[in-house]
A and B are shown apart, each in its own frame.
Chain A
Amino acid sequence: MSTLVDIRALLVHRDRRPVLKIDHLAIEKGRVLTLVGPNGAGKTTLLLVLARLLKPEHGEIFFDNKPWNSIPELDYRRHIGLVMQDSLLLNCSVFENVAIGLRYRHFPKDEVTRRTDKWLERLGISRLRQRSASQLSGGEARRVALARALALQPDLLLLDEPFSALDRSSRQNLQDDLKTILAGAKITTVFSTHSETDVQRLSDRRIELDMGKLAVYD
């Protein structure tokens, strides 16, 4: 299987302190990689580096066999879709939230509507289309955040603890839906979690981070 992201000798500092050190990590195309580890292990840091929102101190990263630095930052960020913890929706309607990334890319209006409606439907939230994001439950908000990233049809989907703080049934339903979507669309995905159940249900490969280093690499 070909590699989408190849990370070599990565070192990330925060407040002049090393927080992430990875000698080598390859993320294969179309597969789902899980990052597990305790709080402060470096999971979110790695996701932010992969989203190119955090600059590493040094290291080589290749995206689709191209050196990272050769791809303009905005072009690169438009290959990815990021879902951060806590959903972080904008104070507008569900439709506008899901459409925002498409609008950033200046998609034609019809295409924005078509894609947004498609992903609202696939995530089972079409009925919430006109509802204000501030009136959503935690589970609904998480689905909107996922639809917002998936509507971009990203080459690399980055999910930071996408099921945290959800009740058991919402968690299970969302896992099932996401599993179907990721299997169908073959989107390369990296997600962080504390839960081994998430790993078992969704993951093709699992890596464990501890104190900013790869502890276990399945």
Chain B
Amino acid sequence: MLFNNPDLWEITLLSIKVSGLATLISMLIGLPFGTLLALNKFPGRSVLLTLANTGMALPPVVVGLAVAMSLWRSGPLGGLHLIYTPAAIIIAQVIIAAPVVTGLTAAALQALDPRLRLQLLGLGASRMQMVLSIWREARLQLLAALMAGFGSVISEVGASMMVGGNIRHQTRVLTTAIVLESNKGEFTSAIGLGILLLLITFLINFALTWIQQRGANR
């Protein structure tokens, strides 16, 4: 019954696309920023680390509210006309996932022996080569950071609902569809969507874990 729903594949695909892109952008922000926090000492570093760690526990609904207020027509970014679009959901999800990737990246790199950086530089590495080498060294933990970032956005509903509006054929994703079906009393359908969401999350994490463990056995 669930799989006969013509909207199902559209919703599923949009969920993967939006959360996948948000995770990718979060990685592009979190990886360099987490590295900067882990490897350098500068005034305000502790404050930034605390902010990143606090950001790891950001309630999605609060992020959704802040992003919605910014993107509403009367808001400071209203001129961009992004409210109730997939782009708005991506923005909100990046705000949720980027601190997760940043905080876990910083923790992963801080767990390495600090003398390793000196050793690599002492073998003639440029700063960038040194960073690439320590990313490789911490690759298992960095993949775990990526998985945590993806997990935090694929499963959130508050932000997607507030900034996306759960509009059919436009911004409906799996989590908002589950809420809608539950509200309608269509529990079978809601449970089916929930199982599908779990299955997707499992498959993506399975693929990432496979890559991670392949790296571990090398």
Contacts and interface: CB of A to CB of B under 8 A. Distances in A.
B62 to A, nearest CB: 39
A122 B188 CA distance: 70
Interface in A67-86: 74, 77-78, 80-82, 84-86
B214 interface: no
Contacts of A88: 113, 115-116, 119
Nearest to A74: B126
Contacts of A120: none
Interface residues of A, number: 26
Interface string A99-115: 01100110000000000
Interface stretch (B22-30, B42-50, B51-59, B129-137): B129-137
Given A90-B136, A90-B137, A132-B218, A84 B129 contact: no
A45 to B, nearest CB: 12
A81 B122 contact: yes
A66 to B, nearest CB: 18
A92 interface: yes
A53 B115 contact: no
A91 interface: yes
B123 A148 contact: yes
A77 B122 contact: yes
Contacts of A152: 123-124
Contacts of B218: 91-93, 132
Interface residues of B, number: 17
Contacts of B115: 84-86, 88
Nearest to B116: A88
B39 interface: no
B137 A53 contact: no
A81 B122 CA distance: 6
A149 interface: yes
A100 B123 contact: yes
A88 B117 CA distance: 10
A24 B151 CA distance: 59
Contacts of A100: 120, 123, 125, 133
7 contacts: A51-B121, A74-B124, A82-B123, A90-B136, A91-B218, A148-B123, A158-B122
Given A51-B118, A84-B115, A92-B218, 18 more contacts: A53-B121, A77-B124, A78-B124, A82-B122, A84-B118, A84-B122, A86-B113, A86-B115, A88-B113, A88-B115, A91-B218, A100-B123, A101-B123, A101-B124, A104-B124, A104-B126, A105-B124, A132-B218
